[in-house]
C-alpha cells in the first residue's frame, strides 16, 4: 500500500523550501509554475509512487509555504537551478528525473542543460526548451506583442502584486479557468495582452462555473497555501518574470548549448504558450535542441494547466518515459 503525501521543510541555499513527498525509489522532482505550488501535482503523486518512484514536489522559492527572499535579484535562473541541485542533494540523492510545468519547465530544462551529471531525464509540460535568443527576451517580446504583454506588464514591482493579492480566490479562479482548454478564450489560444488601463484579471474575468477538472475545494487549497505571505502572496513568483532579461545576460556562456539527457515534451493544443511568436519554429526544432527526445505529445483540447487538466494522459506519458530510462545508480 502506498503511503500518503508527507510534508516537510528543507533548507536549500539559505532558503527554507516546503516539500510534499510520497513513495520510495528513484527520485522524481515535480516543479510547478505560476501561480501554483506543490498542489498542482496532486494527481501525479499516487500513480508515480505506486510505480516505484520517490516523488517530491517543492514549493519553489518565493511561492506558497516556501521562503520568499526580498531581493528581486534572488530569483535568477541560476538561483532556481541551484535550488533544484541543492534539493536533490539535501534529499540524500545523487540524481533525479526533473519534471517541470509552466515556469517549472524552463527551470527543469536549464537544470538538465547545466547539470546533465545530476539530471537523469527531463520533462517539460507546456513550455518547450527556449534557446537563448540574439536579443534580451523582453525587448523581443515587446517589439512583437507590445507593452501590454503580460510578462512585460509584470515588470513593475508592486503593481501586479497588489492586483493579484487583493482577492486570491478570484485570482486563482480567473487564471486557472481562463487559461484552460475549457475556456472560450483559448479557442484559439492567444497570448495574454492587457489593454492600457486594464489589469490581467480584467482581461481574464472570473468564470461563472469552474471547469470539471477544477473544484472550489481546489481553489480554497491554493488560497490557503498562499496565505502565509499576505499581500505579497504573488510577489515571489512575479519576481521570476523580473529576471527574464537578467537570465539572458547570466546564461550568455551557454548560448547554443543543447540538452544532452533523455527528454519528453507535452502540451495542450489550446495552451496559450503555443501561440507565442516563433513557437512553431521552436517546436519544429525540438530534436535539435534535445537530441535524446523520447516523445513530443500534443493533448487535443487541453489548455495551459497540463497535468491538472489531463492527469491520466500525463501520468501515462510520464510512466512510459520513466520506464525507458537507464536504471538509477546507487
Strands 15-22, 27-31: pairing kind: unpaired
Q: Name 167's Cβ contacts closer than 8 Å, sequence gap at least 6.
A: none
- Is residue 7 flagged as an active site residue? no
Q: Decide if 59 is catalytic.
A: no
Handedness of CA 148, 151, 157, 159 (dihedral sign): positive
Of 102, 182, 218, 271, catalytic: 102
Name, in order, each residue with C-beta under 8 angstroms of 181's C-beta and a sequence gap of 6 or more.
268, 270, 301, 302, 303, 309
Catalytic, out of 18, 32, 229, 304:
304
Query: Which phi and psi angles does 273 have, rounded to 5°?
Result: -60, -35
Nearest to 160 by CA among 132, 123, 200: 200
What does the alpha-carbon distance between residue 247 and residue 237 come to, in Å, rounded to a whole number?
A: 15
* Residue positions annotated with a catalytic role: 102, 304
Amino acid at each position: 500500500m502506498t503511503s500518503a503525501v508527507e510534508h516537510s521543510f528543507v533548507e536549500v541555499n539559505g532558503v527554507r523550501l516546503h516539500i510534499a513527498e510520497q513513495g520510495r525509489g528513484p527520485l522524481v522532482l515535480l516543479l510547478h509554475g505560476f501561480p501554483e505550488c506543490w498542489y498542482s501535482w496532486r494527481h501525479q503523486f499516487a500513480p508515480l509512487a505506486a510505480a516505484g518512484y520517490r516523488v517530491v514536489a517543492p514549493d519553489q522559492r518565493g511561492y506558497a509555504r516556501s521562503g520568499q527572499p526580498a531581493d528581486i535579484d534572488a530569483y535568477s535562473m541560476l538561483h532556481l537551478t541551484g535550488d533544484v541541485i541543492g534539493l536533490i542533494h539535501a534529499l540524500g540523492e545523487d540524481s533525479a528525473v526533473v519534471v517541470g510545468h509552466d515556469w517549472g519547465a524552463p527551470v527543469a530544462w536549464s537544470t538538465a542543460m547545466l547539470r546533465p551529471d545530476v539530471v537523469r531525464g527531463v520533462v517539460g509540460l507546456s513550455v518547450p526548451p527556449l534557446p537563448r535568443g540574439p536579443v534580451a527576451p523582453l525587448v523581443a517580446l515587446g517589439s512583437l506583442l507590445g507593452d501590454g504583454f503580460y510578462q512585460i506588464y509584470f515588470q513593475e514591482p508592486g503593481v501586479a502584486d497588489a492586483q493579484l493579492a487583493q482577492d486570491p480566490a478570484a485570482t486563482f479562479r480567473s487564471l486557472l479557468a481562463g487559461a484552460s482548454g475549457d475556456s472560450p478564450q483559448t479557442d484559439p489560444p492567444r497570448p495574454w495582452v492587457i489593454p492600457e488601463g486594464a489589469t490581467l484579471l480584467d482581461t481574464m474575468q472570473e468564470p461563472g462555473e469552474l471547469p470539471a477538472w477544477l473544484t472550489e475545494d481546489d481553489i480554497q487549497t491554493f488560497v490557503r497555501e498562499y496565505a502565509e505571505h499576505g499581500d505579497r502572496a504573488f510577489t515571489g513568483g512575479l519576481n521570476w518574470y523580473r529576471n527574464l532579461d537578467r537570465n539572458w545576460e547570466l546564461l550568455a556562456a551557454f548560448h547554443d548549448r543543447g540538452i544532452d539527457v533523455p527528454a519528453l515534451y507535452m502540451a495542450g493544443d489550446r495552451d496559450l504558450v503555443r501561440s507565442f511568436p516563433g513557437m512553431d519554429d521552436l517546436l519544429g526544432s525540438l530534436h535539435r535542441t534535445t537530441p535524446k527526445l523520447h516523445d513530443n505529445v500534443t493533448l487535443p483540447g487541453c489548455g495551459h494547466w497540463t497535468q491538472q487538466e489531463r492527469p491520466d494522459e500525463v501520468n501515462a506519458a510520464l510512466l512510459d518515459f520513466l520506464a525507458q530510462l537507464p536504471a538509477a545508480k546507487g
